[in-house]
Structure 1
Amino acid sequence: MSHSIIHTEQAPAAIGPYSQAVRAGDTVYFSGQIPLDPATGALVDGDIATQTRRVFDNLAAVAQAAGGSLAQIVRVGIYVTDLANFAAVNAVMAEYFQQPYPARSTIEVAGLPKGAQVEVDAVMVLG
């Protein structure tokens, strides 16, 4: 099966040796997004809600570049540096997704690139 690389200027460029997303057949695998401003590449200032909104805006831009939308995401992986932010992340996610919600895991980690508080990766199925 062939695959194609997904890239958009509407989401931050990769900060390492990876692609924003890869499409294989009708499945799109998103790399983790942290709350970087696509225009500057800088981490956005603000609380966990502000950072989480930026992350989902970045994911939405990549989904659109792949020919889809957040509504077609079937799995989300959320990584936070403090599980005390679980409720705030849930509240923001509810602004971007409606039922039926994608499958999800939420994992506390010791640290994230550039000092981010949250990172999200995803899988989307088109068609």
Structure 2
Amino acid sequence: MKRTIIEVPVISETLARIGAPVSVLVRSGDMLYTCGMPPIDHRTGEIVRGDIATQTRVALDALAFTLEFGGSSLAQVVKATVYIADNNLAGDMNTVYRTYFPEGFPARTCVAINTWPAFDIEIECIASIL
């Protein structure tokens, strides 16, 4: 199956600027695959600091923007993986996460990892195309 890399304005530029060797969005067949999305403001390209609720909201907004750019939406997410700095942050992350998937949750894995210097969460997903 053919793989198509989709450059997403602001998000792709931001990750390239910080030297991340990733494709932000890849289409294969009728599926979209995102990279791990840190809390990047999709309007400005800035990494947003703050509590885990704020970072989760910003990361999910960036994912929504990315998926919509590729012809999908959060409603079409079938699998999500959340990388979080500390499992003790999961409760506040889940409170925000629930509001982005009101019609049913995608399959999800949540993994605690060592922290990045600038943020505490990264979320990736697989979504079908509308």
* TM-score, scaled relative to structure 2: 0.88
Which residue of structure 2 lines up, in the alignment, with residue 115 of structure 1? 118
Q: In 1, are the aligned partners of 2:49 and 2:119 still within 8 Å (CA)?
A: no
**Residue 83, structure 1, aligned to residue 76, structure 2:** no
Kindly tell me: are residues 12 and 54 of structure 1, through their superposed partners in 2, closer, same or farther at Cα, counting changes over 3 Å? farther
Q: In 1, are the aligned partners of 2:10 and 2:44 still within 8 Å (CA)?
A: no
Instruction: Report the Cα offset of residue 61 of structure 1.
Output: 0.6
**AA at the equivalent of 2:112:** E
Number of residue pairs matched by the alignment: 126
**Residue 20, structure 1, aligned to residue 35, structure 2:** no
Identity %: 34
**Residue 104, structure 1, aligned to residue 108, structure 2:** yes
Q: In 2, are the aligned partners of 1:12 and 1:36 still within 8 Å (CA)?
A: no
- Gaps of at least 5 residues in structure 1 are none
1-structure distance, mates of 2:25, 2:83: 18
- Kindly report which structure 2 residues correspond to 1:1-127, keeping only aligned pairs within 5 A, or say none: 1-9=1-9, 11=11, 13=13, 14-15=15-16, 16-112=20-116, 114-127=117-130
- Gaps of at least 5 residues in structure 2 are none
**AA at the equivalent of 2:22:** Y
Aligned-CA RMSD value:
1.6
2-structure distance, mates of 1:24, 1:80: 27
Q: Secondary structure at the match of 2:36?
A: strand
Instruction: Report the Cα offset of residue 24 of structure 1.
Output: 0.2
The runs of 4+ residues in structure 1 deviating greater than 4 Å are: none
* TM-score, scaled relative to structure 1: 0.90
